Amino acid sequence: MRADHSRPTGPATGPADPSVTVRDSMTTSLPPDTDTPPDPAAGLLLPVPDDDGAPFWEYAARGELRVQTCADCDEPRFPPRPCCPHCQSFGARWQRMSGRGRIWSYVLAHPPLLPAYAALAPYNAIVVELAEAPRIRLVGNLVAAPDAALNSVDPARLRIGAPVKAVFPTPPGGPTVPRWMLERP
C-alpha cells in the first residue's frame, strides 16, 4: 500500500492553509481598496479550484510553478487528476518547473465578451508548452510586466515558438494567477 501524496501536507510541500490564498467561493476578484493602485485584473474570473487542482494555485501564490507528477512512474500530468493514467498509481508529488516555455498557440479575443474582458479587448490568450515537459501546456496570458494587464503586449509581438517565462502577479484584490512574459522583451 502506497502513501497518498496527492495533496501538500505541510511547509515542505505546500502551504498549510489553502484558504489563505485561494478564495474558492467567489467567481470574480474584489474591487481594489481606494488606497491601492487599480488592479488590472479587477473583474476577471478567478480560478475555481477543484480538489485535484487546488495545490497548483497554492504553489502559484508562493511564486512557484509546479505540475502534478506521478510518485511511482514520474510522468507529469495536466490537468491534475486523482490517479496516473500511465500506471494507475494514486501517489503524486508536485514537481517544480523552471517556469520557462514556448508559445504553442494564441488567440486575440474581441467582443462579445464578459464586461471586464471586453474592457481589455483585444487581449491575448496563449497556450505555453513547458520547457521541461513539452506535453504539459498551460493556458495563460502574455503580459509586459507581472502586474500588467492582459492587453499590455503589442499583438504583433505574439509568435508561436517564442520563449516565455512565468511570472506571478500579486494583485491587491485576489489570488495569484500566473502569467507569462517574453524572454526577450
Partner 1 sequence: MGATLKDATAIVGIGQTPFAKRLPESEKALACRAIIAALDDAGIAPSEVDAFASYTMEETDEVEIAKSIGAGDVTHFSRVGFGGGGSCATVGHLAAAIATGQASVGVAWRSRKRGSGPRPWTSTRVQLPTPAQWTRPFGLLRPADEIGMLARRYMHEYGATRDHFFNVALACRNRANQNPAAMMYDRPLTREMYMTARWISEPLCLFDNCLETDGALACVVVSAARARDCRRRPVYVHAAAQGLPAQHHGMVNYWNDDPLSGPAWTAARHLWKGSDLGPQDVDVAQIYDAFTPLIPLSLEGYGFCGRGEGAAFTEGGALEIGGRLPLNTGGGGLSEAYVHGFNLIIEGVRQLRGTSTAQVPGAATCLVTAGEGVPTSALLLRS
Measuring CA to CA, which residue among 151, 152, 137, 145 is closest to residue 171? 145
Among 30, 83, 119, 127, binds partner 1 (CB under 8 A): 127
State how far the Cα of 26 lies from the Cα of 154, in Å rounded to an integer. Answer: 31
State how far the Cα of 71 lies from the Cα of 87, in Å rounded to an integer. Answer: 10
Give the per-residue contact string, 35-74, with Zn ion (x = CB under 5 A; - = no).
Answer: -----------------------------------x-xx-
SS3 content of the chain, % helix, strand, coil (to 5): 10, 25, 65
Give the per-residue contact string, 84-113, with partner 1 (x = CB under 8 A; - = no).
Answer: -x------------------xxxxxxx-xx
Give the per-residue contact string, 44-83, with partner 1 (x = CB under 8 A; - = no).
Answer: xxxxxxx-xx---x--------------------xx----
State how far the Cα of 27 lies from the Cα of 36, in Å rounded to an integer. Answer: 21
The answer to whether 136 contacts partner 1 (rule: CB under 8 A) is yes
Binding residues for partner 1, per CB under 8 A? 27-28, 44-50, 52-53, 57, 78-79, 85, 104-110, 112-114, 117, 120, 122-123, 125, 127, 135-141, 150, 155, 160, 177
